[in-house]
């Protein structure tokens, strides 16, 4: 998992773990596969996807990632932004 710095362009993994079985996911469906800009690091937290099932939970970096609404929903008028907390395990550096 790469360490990401503020200003980095990132893509959210296009993945649907809930299609493979029971899952607890804090990555909203509307950002998966979409590109945004990392604006700040929020520290490190234990992976909620494991905590929810009482499994050993590794610590993950948590980031604030900013998306333009037009990159999420092309028909958005007028334009706005959406700021989302995402774990490093869901992000790919562009």
Partner 1 sequence: MKWEQYPEERVFAALRSVLSAKGLVTDAEIFETIAVTERASPEQGARMVAKAWVDPDYRALLLRDGTRAAELLNITMRGAPPLGVAENTPDVHHLVVCTLCSCYPRAVLGYPPFWYKSVAYRARAVRDPRGVLAEWGTVLPESTRIRVVDSTADYRWMVLPLRPANTEGWSEERLAKLVRATDMIGVTVPKVP
Q: List interacting residues with partner 1 (CB under 8 A).
A: 26-28, 30, 42-43, 45, 48, 62, 66, 69, 72-73, 76, 78-87
* Distance separating alpha carbons of residues 49 and 10, to the nearest angstrom: 21
CB-wise, 20 or 77, nearer to partner 1? 77
How near is the Cβ of 90 to partner 1 at its closest, in Å? Answer: 10
3-state SS class at 64: strand
How near is the Cβ of 77 to partner 1 at its closest, in Å? 9
Opening angle at CA 50, ends 45 and 56, nearest 5: 85
């Amino acid at each position: 998992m790469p360490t990401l710095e503020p200003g980095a362009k990132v893509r959210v993994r296009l993945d649907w773990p809930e299609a493979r079985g029971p899952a607890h996911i804090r990555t909203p469906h509307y950002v998966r596969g979409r590109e945004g800009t990392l604006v700040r690091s929020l520290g490190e937290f234990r992976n909620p996807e494991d905590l929810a099932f009482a499994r050993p939970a590794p610590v993950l970096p948590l980031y604030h990632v900013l998306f333009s609404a037009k990159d999420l929903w092309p028909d958005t008028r007028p334009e706005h932004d959406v700021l989302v907390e995402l774990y490093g395990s869901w992000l790919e550096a562009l």
